[in-house]
């Protein structure tokens, strides 16, 4: 079994639960045989690296470093879960300020040490804002930066499969868009349960309105629920999806879930958010999601929330004022608002 590439992948936060799992999946799926693990916490990082050595992946070169510049130089792909983790009782937004500092530093390091980076995947929360912060400071084209956004959609798929008692992949078209947070927009218009549109279940009263709202709420609390059950935030599913996203940009394979992407123009411009995306060897291609009026109202609401978070991050001095964005990143225009 050959590796898909020998170009180097840097996993940032590799001592953590997501990062160490992600490193393992990258090697298990033979995505790259060349992985550098970065984390500021040396003992845990060495321990995680030793575990990888003890797997004895054939032909793999696995290194580890606590020096971010060293991790980035010569690296083609970066996947980062290297933020502070979310703890029980915290909202994703509570993490914003601390993690945007980390994202800003990452962007600045990428600009300096890996200006030709092929792709950056940001996992740490709130990923829309940390991803945006890294994008603006990195100088990378927006097509080369994405965030993990799939879990809300797969949690929706899971919840509906459990509610209707059908196998999970009989529930299709699950999409959540906008922010990955309490204000996510859980779309309904494309969902089918064993072939039958969810909207028909709603119209026929087979799925009472309040039960659908409960499902949406369940999905919004999906992350918190894992923390409650496992005593730690989810790590296997984020690692899994991030690895598949990376695989997609390396080999062009289909990645079927929404990704976070920068919206350059139109009604939803000036933020990164979960959208209708395609991952390709050239990066992420983004389209504004389409849904019924109710879905779109949810998306507008989520967008407004993202604008607020973005503006707070500007006020914190972690993102530059909008009019200066093109000076920080020549691939960006001045957002309309």
Residues that bind a copy of itself (CB under 8 A): 20-21, 24-25, 28-29, 43-44, 46-48, 50-56, 58-61, 151, 154-155, 157-158, 161, 167-169, 222, 225-226, 228-231, 234-237, 240-241, 257
State in angstroms the smallest separation of the CB of 45 from a copy of itself: 9
Q: How far is the CB of 147 from a copy of itself (least distance, A)?
A: 16
**Least Cβ distance, residue 203 to a copy of itself (angstroms):** 27
Q: Closest approach of Cβ 240 to a copy of itself, in Å?
A: 4
Q: Which is nearer to a copy of itself, 221 or 278 (CB)?
A: 221
State in angstroms the smallest separation of the CB of 244 from a copy of itself: 9
DSSP at 207:
S
Cβ contacts of 217 within 8 Å, gap of 6 or more: none
Q: What is the spatial distance between Cα 233 and Cα 94, in angstroms, rounded to a whole number?
A: 15
Give the integer Cα–Cα distance in Å for 297 and 98. 30
- Residue 20 vs 138, nearer CB to a copy of itself: 20
* Residue 238 C-beta: closest distance to a copy of itself, Å: 9
- The pairing of beta strand 192-193 with beta strand 171-172: antiparallel
- DSSP letter (8 states) at residue 58: T
| Cα–Cα distance, 142 to 328 (Å, whole number) | 13
Closest to a copy of itself by CB, 233 vs 313, is 233
| Cβ partners under 8 Å of residue 260, min gap 6 | 122, 127, 128, 131, 146, 147, 148, 149, 180, 272, 273, 274, 275
Residue 168 or 282: the one with the smaller Cβ distance to a copy of itself is 168
**188, 150 Cβ separation under 8 angstroms:** no
Which of residues 221 and 312 has its CB atom nearest to a copy of itself in the complex? Answer: 221
Nearer to a copy of itself, 30 or 300 (CB): 30
Q: What sections of the chain are H helices per DSSP?
A: 17-28, 42-55, 68-72, 96-113, 127-138, 150-164, 198-203, 209-220, 222-230, 236-251, 293-315, 325-328
The distance of closest approach from Cβ of residue 74 to a copy of itself in the complex, given in angstroms and rounded to an integer, is 17
Nearer to a copy of itself, 195 or 205 (CB): 195
């Amino acid at each position: 079994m050959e590796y898909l590439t020998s170009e180097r992948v840097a996993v940032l936060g590799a001592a953590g639960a997501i990062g160490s799992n992600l490193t393992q999946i990258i090697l298990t799926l033979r995505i790259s045989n060349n992985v550098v693990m970065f984390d500021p916490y040396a003992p845990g990082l060495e321990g995680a690296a030793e575990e990888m050595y003890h797997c004895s992946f054939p032909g793999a070169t696995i290194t580890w470093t606590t020096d971010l510049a060293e991790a980035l130089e010569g690296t083609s792909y970066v996947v980062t879960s290297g933020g502070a983790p979310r703890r029980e009782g915290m909202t994703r937004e509570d993490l914003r300020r601390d993690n945007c500092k980390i994202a800003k530093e990452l962007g600045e390091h990428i600009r300096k040490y890996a200006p030709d980076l092929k792709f950056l995947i940001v996992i740490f929360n709130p990923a829309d804002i940390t991803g945006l912060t890294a994008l603006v400071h990195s100088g990378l084209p927006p097509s080369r930066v994405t965030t993990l956004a799939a879990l809300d959609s797969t949690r929706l798929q899971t919840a509906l499969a459990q509610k209707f008692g059908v196998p999970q992949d009989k529930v299709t078209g699950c999409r959540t868009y906008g922010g990955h947070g309490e204000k996510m927009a859980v779309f309904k218009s494309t969902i089918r349960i064993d072939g039958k549109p969810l909207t028909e279940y709603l119209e026929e009263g087979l799925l009472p309105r309040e039960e659908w709202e409960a499902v949406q709420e369940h999905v919004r609390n999906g992350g918190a629920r894992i923390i409650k059950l496992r005593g730690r935030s989810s790590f296997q599913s984020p690692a899994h999806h991030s690895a598949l996203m990376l695989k997609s940009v390396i080999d062009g394979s289909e990645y079927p879930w929404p990704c976070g992407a920068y919206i350059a123009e139109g009604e939803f411009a000036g933020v990164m958010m979960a959208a209708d995306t395609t991952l390709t060897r050239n990066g992420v291609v983004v389209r504004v999601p389409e849904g019924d009026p109710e879905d779109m109202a949810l998306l507008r609401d989520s967008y407004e929330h993202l604008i607020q978070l973005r503006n707070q991050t500007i006020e914190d001095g972690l993102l530059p004022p909008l009019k200066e964005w093109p000076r920080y990143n020549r691939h960006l225009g001045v957002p309309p608002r």
